[in-house]
Amino acid sequence: MTERLGPADIARAATLLRAGELVGFPTETVYGLGADARNGRAVAGVFEAKGRPHFNPLICHFASAEAAFAQVEADDRARALAAAFWPGPLTLVLPRRDGCEVDLLAGAGLDTLAVRVPAHPVALALIAAMDGPVAAPSANRSGGVSPTTAAHVLAGLDGRIAAVIDGGACPVGVESTVLDLSGGAVLLRHGGVTVEAIEAVIGRVGRPLPITAAEASCSLRSPGMMLSHYAPGLPVRLGAVEVSADEGLLAFGAPLAGAGAVFQLSEASDVREAAARLFAGLRALDAMPGLTGIAVMPVPEAGLGAAINDRLTRAAAPR
């Protein structure tokens, strides 16, 4: 049985983490499944609870840039980005320092580590109370839709984790942007901080080549780039300009007529609002009886639209 905790129960949650247990907690992006990153058994438990392939490394969460940079080697680019965007939805991949406390399994054995300082008060309080790095992937079964409420976490992981802290809905709604700075700056995942905003601080950032289904099934620089990911149970169809009565419509702006059910991402065509509602929308339509698929209206690429379209492309990819 998974304990239901609230924001007032930080001490209890930290005690569980220190004992090697797993705790779901809110961040500004999505809910994370936290474990003490120094404890190999706890980290192994994360992979087990999620059914996550062991080659896919976890992000380590810290209460401050100083704490993060004690574990990884930060250069001027990393420091400038931390100053600009932390706490916030940006993850930096940097070389592990000698004596790095984070268990090797958390980084899937790589000589780099993904680090970030989240902007959610509950997450920051939990990390401070545990007094160490918290390894946390999104708190969903591997390959599925990321959770943006505590109820979403329980839908996938009830009984498999010690506790979840209910801190309400996540304000950003898509995961952090992942930027590899272990060599030339390369974007590994679109997310809550736009590439344009990053380039305004450190200059040109490399974009990964679009990946093919063949590449998606084997080892990658960032396994989260796997093509089929964020997938609901129903098939997903993108760029819908008409919709049928047996489909659920994920609407953006004035909805198409004729759908069996409609979930509005943003009536006002606001990509920020749509990002915050994206995963809840996929889950809501997926749970609706009688539908045979989900049709998605086009979302512009601007701003957070890049992250939304990235997640939707993977949700629609061949499984």
Tell me, residue by residue from 200 to 239, as one string, x for binding to ligand TXA by CB under 6 A and - for no binding: ----------------------xxx---------------
223 binds, options ligand TXA, Mg ion, none, Cβ within 5 to 8 A by partner type = ligand TXA
Other Cβ atoms within 10 Å of 258 Cβ, number = 12
Facing residues of 115 across strands? Answer: 60, 92
- Which token pair is 144? 């599925």
Nearer Cβ to ligand TXA (136/274): 136
114 binds, options Mg ion, ligand TXA, none, Cβ within 5 to 8 A by partner type = ligand TXA
CA nearest 122: which of 112, 104, 105, 134?
134
Least Å from the CB of residue 307 to Mg ion: 13
242 burial (CB, 10 Å; 0-12 / 13-18 / 19+) is exposed
Out of 136, 193, 227, 274, name the contact with ligand TXA by CB under 6 A: 136
Residue 102 sits in the site that holds ligand TXA (CB under 6 A): no
275 binds, options ligand TXA, Mg ion, none, Cβ within 5 to 8 A by partner type = none
φ, ψ dihedrals at 281, nearest 5° = -65, -45
Q: Please report, for residues 14, 59, 206, 237, 310, the alpha-carbon distance to residue 316 in angstroms, rounded to integers and kept in the order given.
A: 37, 25, 25, 6, 10
Least Å from the CB of residue 137 to Mg ion: 5
Residue 176 sits in the site that holds Mg ion (CB under 5 A): no
State how far Cα 25 lies from the chain centre. Answer: 12
- Which token pair is 83? 């100053």
Q: Which residues have C-beta within 8 Å of that of residue 110, sequence separation ≥ 6?
A: 57
Nearer Cβ to Mg ion (93/291): 93
Give the binding-site size for ligand TXA (rule: CB under 6 A).
Answer: 28
Nearer Cβ to Mg ion (208/253): 208
State how far Cα 189 lies from the chain centre. Answer: 10
Tell me, residue by residue from 192 to 231, as one string, x for binding to Mg ion by CB under 5 A and - for no binding: ----------------------------------------
Nearer Cβ to ligand TXA (152/243): 152
Residue 177 sits in the site that holds Mg ion (CB under 5 A): no
Q: Please report, for residues 8, 113, 130, the alpha-carbon distance to residue 39 in angstroms, rounded to integers and kept in the order given.
A: 25, 15, 12
Out of 91, 112, 138, 309, name the contact with Mg ion by CB under 5 A: 138
Least Å from the CB of residue 205 to ligand TXA: 15
Residue 59 sits in the site that holds ligand TXA (CB under 6 A): yes
Footprint (CB under 6 A) of ligand TXA, residues 21-50? 27, 29-30, 32
Strand 3-5 to 163-165 pairing? parallel
Asked if residues 107 and 96 have their Cβ atoms less than 8 Å apart, the reply is yes
Residue 112 sits in the site that holds ligand TXA (CB under 6 A): yes
Under the rule (CB under 5 A), what is the footprint of Mg ion? Answer: 138
